[in-house]
Amino acid sequence: MAAMASSEPAPRAELTDYETVRHWFAIAADRLGIRDDVAAVLRTPYREVRVQVPVKLADGRIHVFSGYRVQHNGARGPYKGGIRFHPSVDLDEVRALAELMTWKTAIVGIPYGGAKGGVDVDPSRLSPRELQTVSRSFLNKVEKVLGPTRDIPAPDVGTNAQVMAWLMDEYGKHHGHTPACVTGKPIALEGSYGREAATGRGVVFMFREAAPLVDLIPAETSFAVQGFGNVGSWAARLMQQLGARMVAASDASGAIHHEAGIDAERLAAHVAEGATLAELPGVEPIPPEDLLGVECDVLIPAALGGMINADNADRVRCKLVVEGANSPTTPAADRILGDKGVFVVPDVMANAGGVVVSYFEWVQNLQHFRWDEREVNDRLGRIMRKAFREVHARSHSTGTALREAAFELGIERVLEAAILRGYIE
Ligand code: GLU
């Protein structure tokens, strides 16, 4: 097995999301020669808020959820990052995701720090009214640390434009109408054109940059999507517009395969009607764990963290992985993919399209002005291409993978800002 050929000690098979971020940070900080005391400042979150979210649900009982907002680093600007509603949410996960936002915003060069929030609730088990109650209750507990010049939430797994509308409305009760306090809002409530598709669109911009490096021609490319949700389904639809063919997809309901190609538009419409992937006519249902092993050119993990791990990475049979999710690949899996010659565009650059268009939304809100979708998409493309070229140039000159180069670039920029502010000498 190729993975055994390397002489480096293998990392522990399964790291938590937080240990995974720690792993990549430590490698980059070491390569950059950052002193231990300075590294400690950079890796430690600035503020961690943990709150009780008691909500009376339709069953008449009070359910106590836990809510979090972690502000990791604000040297480059206000804290920025999504809010996740998922049963797996805990402080460790939110901390990891907050730190990823710090490096992500620095890598793409937008003027923000990094944050993340979440509630350990399963939104699929709540009625719209209950979901609204949870959203407003959470906002009330954390609003003191938020604001357009302090910390700006956005959607993440399990939240969407509707949830952002409730958060904006609740924030407005305390501070007056403040659309720039949250991004990813509905178009009708000062959201930005292009925000909903932005993360998926960014993934496809990154694919287009990486394709020539692995001898792929977009119109002749086959791909598989793990996690056909917001990010995955937009990435799939936009890949299809380039002429690429989706051969497999999965979500929480299961996985499907069809060598001749699954119409991404049709699948998105089918899912929007509430049907499961396997109910799409003409596709073959496959066990979800087989999705990673489907032969294709490009794999787009767009689900949760740790999905590509030491137990399954060896099954991957593609040339290119573009990480739409945050932390989808554990360090052990990353090593296996590297040994197999799979080129990986890492999360901290590949999925940055969402926060880039969040930045555009915030800018538009602050100016009380709206750009059209073409302007948003063109600007997004310019930022994503620049980030790819900068990270790729660095990886080329230092002989590292894109992930190491991206972390180095992000950490270097945050360090520079911290020094300029006088936080670090
Ligand atoms: N949740 C998204 C991310 O992980 C978007 C964050 C934002 O737009 O602030 O990048």
For 321-379, write each residue's pLDDT tens digit: 999 999 999 999 999 999 999 999 999 999 999 999 999 999 999 999 999 999 999 99
pLDDT number for residue 14: 79
pLDDT of res. 113 = 98
Q: Is the CB of 305 under 6 A from ligand 1?
A: no
Q: Which of 56, 80, 104, 116 is catalytic?
A: 116
Mean residue pLDDT of the chain comes to 95
Average pLDDT value for residue range 115-130: 96
Report whether pLDDT(245) > 90. yes
Q: Is the CB of 80 under 6 A from ligand 1?
A: yes
Ligand 1 atom showing the smallest separation from residue 97 Cα: 4
Q: Which of 242, 226, 216 is nearest to 319 (CA)?
A: 216
| Percentage of the residues of the chain whose pLDDT score is greater than 70 | 97
360 neighbors 174 (Cβ within 8 angstroms) = no
What pLDDT, on the 0 to 100 scale, is given for residue 425? 86
Q: How far, in Å, is the centroid of ligand 1 from the Cα of 83?
A: 8
CA atoms of 256 and 57, how far apart (whole Å): 35
Ligand 1 center from residue 350 Cα (angstroms): 12
What is the pLDDT at residue 15?
A: 87
- Is 116 catalytic? The answer is yes
Mutate to test the pocket of ligand 1, among 101, 230, 304, 360 (most ligand atoms within 8 A of CB): 101
- Atom 9 in ligand 1: residue holding the nearest Cα: 81
Decide if pLDDT at 12 tops 90: no
Q: At what angle do helices 402-421 and 36-43 cross, to 10 degrees?
A: 90
Q: What is the pLDDT of residues 181-223, one digit of tens each?
A: 999 999 999 999 999 999 999 999 999 999 999 999 999 999 9
Residue 11 predicted with pLDDT over 60: no
CB of 110 closer than 6 angstroms to any ligand 1 atom: no
Per mean pLDDT, which range of 4-8, 104-108, 173-177, 264-268 is the poorest?
4-8
pLDDT digits (tens, 9 = 90+) for 140-197: 999 999 999 999 999 999 999 999 999 999 999 999 999 999 999 999 999 999 999 9
Say how far apart CA 345 and CA 92 lie, in whole Å: 24
Q: Decide whether any atom of ligand 1 lies within 6 Å of the 105 Cβ.
A: no
Residue 154, ligand 1, Cβ within 6 A: yes
Ligand 1 centroid to residue 356 C-alpha, Å:
8
Q: Which of 358, 362, 365, 383 to mutate to test the pocket of ligand 1 (most atoms within 8 A of CB)?
A: 358
Q: Rounded mean pLDDT of 65-74?
A: 98
| Mean pLDDT score, 252-260 | 97
Share of the chain above pLDDT 90, in %: 95
Q: Is the pLDDT of residue 246 over 50?
A: yes
Neighbours of 377 (CB within 10 A): 19
Closest-CA residue to 196 (of 224, 238, 227): 238
Over the range 38-67, which residues count as b (16 or more CB within 10 Å of their CB) and which as e? bbebbbebbeebebebebeeeeeeeeebbb
Atom of ligand 1 nearest to the CA of 112: 9
**At 312, which amino acid appears?**
N
Q: Give the number of the atom of ligand 1 that is nearest the alpha carbon of residue 355.
A: 8
Can you tell me the mean pLDDT for 229-251?
Answer: 98
Which fold, 46-186? Rossmann fold (3.40.50)
* 83, 104, 110, 199: residue to mutate for ligand 1 pocket, most atoms within 8 A of CB: 199
The pair of structure tokens assigned to 255 is 């996985």
Residue 7, pLDDT > 50, answer: no
Tokens of 249: 């997809």
Q: CATH 3.40.50.10860 residue ranges in the chain?
A: 46-186
Cβ burial of 153 (10 Å; 0-12, 13-18, 19+) is: buried
d(CA 331, CA 14): 8
Which option is the CATH number for 198-350: 1.10.10.10, 3.30.720.210, 3.40.50.720, 3.10.50.40? Answer: 3.40.50.720
Within a 10 A sphere around the Cβ of 217, how many other Cβ atoms? 12
The rounded Å distance from CA 229 to ligand 1 centre is 15
Query: Residues with Cβ < 8 Å from 111, sequence gap 6 or more?
Result: 76, 77, 105, 359
- Residue 374: both structure tokens together: 């073409």
Count of C-beta atoms within a 10 Å radius of residue 173: 12
Give the pair of three-digit tokens for residue 217: 């021609």
Q: Output the six-digit token pair for 149.
A: 């010049």
Predicted confidence band of residue 26 (pLDDT cuts 50, 70, 90):
very high
pLDDT at 5: 38
What pLDDT is attached to residue 69? 98
- Give, using CA atoms, the residue closest to atom 7 of ligand 1: 355
pLDDT at position 292: 96
- Tokens representing 58 are 């339709």
| Residue 341 pLDDT | 97
Say how far apart CA 251 and CA 312 lie, in whole Å. Answer: 17
Q: How many residues does the chain have?
A: 425
Residue 305 has pLDDT above 50, yes or no: yes
Cα 328 from Cα 133, distance rounded (Å): 31
Distance 156 CA to ligand 1 centre (A): 6
Nearest CA to ligand 1 atom 8: 355
> Mind listing the pLDDT tens digit for each residue in 388-416?
999 999 999 999 999 999 999 999 999 99
Q: What is the pLDDT of residues 336-349, one digit of tens each?
A: 999 999 999 999 99
Domain with CATH 3.40.50.720 in the chain: 198-350
Is the pLDDT confidence value at 4 over 80? no
Residue 191 Cβ < 6 Å to ligand 1 = no
Choice from 79, 84, 156 to test ligand 1 binding pocket (greatest atom count within 8 A of CB)? 156
Residue 81 CB–ligand 1 contact under 6 Å: yes
User: pLDDT class for 274, splitting at 50, 70, 90?
Assistant: very high
pLDDT at residue 301 greater than cutoff 80:
yes
